[in-house]
Chain A
Amino acid sequence: MVTEKDQRIGEKMSHHTRYIKVRVVLPDGKVKEIEGPREVKAILRRLNILENTVLVVRDEELLTPDRLLEAGDTIELIPVISGGLN
């Protein structure tokens, strides 16, 4: 049985664990919840997105690939590649 106290301790501990849950707004606008690593770079790799093809934004702030996320964060991936021939 998980007591309230255990839960609180659990939450605190998750702050320090490698795996957390975050919301990601993908380049096509779709939203995905992923449970994964905390490093932006690792999340992009997990999504199979090249880090030089998007901007990563959290609360109006641009994040470099080495930044770490917190549980519950939402990041938006803004595509930077335009198509066309001209």
Chain B
Amino acid sequence: MKCRLCDSIAVISLPRHNSAFCRNHFVEFFQKQVKRAIKSYRMLNKTDRILVCVSGGKDSLTLWHILNEFGYNTTGLYINLGIGEYSEKSLEKAEAFAKRLNKELIVVDFAEEYTDIKALARFADRTDCSTCGVVKRYFFNRVAIEKGFDAVATGHNLDDEAARLLGNILRWQVDLVQKQSPVLDNEEGLKKKVKPLFRLTEQEIATYAFLNRIDYLREECPMSKGTTSLVYKEALNRIELESPGTKHFFYFQFLERKKDVFKHLKEDKKGVLSFCERCGTPCSGEYCAFCRLTDYLSKSAQTPCEHA
């Protein structure tokens, strides 16, 4: 297969764009997609201080790499979730990459300060990933606010967003569906959040990482095994192979149409917002999700375990 733009051999075929690209033209394509994402959603300004959430995986390191290439002012944030060997290795990758870019990496040691994700999930009787999500979101926001960053950037890609949308629709979680967006604007107590890779698939990101020799952790978090998001991703990839462009269409048409479809819901949502009594984070109840979670820890420390 030849590059669509020159005569060189292609490194990737992109049926959804009816294209194939050589190394140089693929990198150009990739950069264009990220620029377009940033511009169309007014994600970032050149003067912004950007906090990039890095896990040591391909998406977050690629995000950091490309924002750095574009000349943005970036700092990395790594959260140690205490997931055994996986956490140790992923921190090593994040640190090595920060060194390569010659950028600062802020490390929050959640496991040391509180406990590991698995233990916390057990106390709270929640799934590992939803517990992990609350913790990560909380620290992304808190560090950004405390250290005066303008925006928080995460490595979410098209597969992540399409799989999440599919999951939300399959369960008709309309409130979650309408909240889904490549950018969440600044609100009081909540820093702006952006996903500059949302136009790119996992395969495209892995290709960019490969071509730029980005040394990421290939190993997956052990808790990700068997999660429904993997099932949805696989289903979408299966459909995509049979009918190229479907994944793209599914998510991009959603973004296009949701303004009209969910207009009335948006109005209802405003106004119910209050602030967490302990930490000040905007939330819907007395305490925010993070404080409710970590509250289980203090309770479990006070009351002796009944099952002991």
Please give the residue numbers on chain A whose beta carbons come within 8 Å of chain B beta carbons, in ascending order. 50-55, 57, 61-62, 64-67, 78-86
- Do the beta carbons of B1 and A67 come within 8 Å of each other? yes
Q: Is B95 an interface residue (CB 8 A)?
A: no
B5 part of interface (Cβ distance < 8 Å): no
Name B's A-contacting residues (CB within 8 A). 1, 10-13, 20, 57-59, 129-130, 132-133, 136-137, 159, 164, 201-203, 205-207, 210-211, 218, 220-221, 223-225, 227, 229-230, 233-234, 237-238, 240-241
A36 vs B234: C-alpha distance when bound (angstroms): 25
Interface centre among A66, A79, A82 (most CB of B within 10 A): A82
CB-contact partner of B58 in A52, A57, A61, A80, under 8 A: A80
B139 → chain A closest CB, angstroms: 12
A-side contacts of B130, CB under 8 Å: 85
Q: Given contacts A64-B12, A78-B218, is CB(A84)–CB(B229) below 8 Å?
A: yes
Which of A51, A66, A67, A80 is within 8 Å of B206, CB to CB?
A: A80
Cα distance A62–B240 in the bound complex, in angstroms: 21
A sample of 24 inter-chain contacts (CB < 8 A) reads A52-B201, A52-B240, A53-B202, A53-B237, A55-B203, A57-B210, A61-B11, A62-B12, A62-B210, A64-B10, A64-B11, A78-B210, A78-B218, A81-B230, A81-B237, A82-B59, A82-B220, A83-B224, A83-B229, A85-B129, A85-B132, A85-B164, A85-B229, A86-B137
For A61, the closest partner residue in chain B by CB is B11
Name the B residues within 8 Å of A55 (CB-CB): 203, 206-207, 210
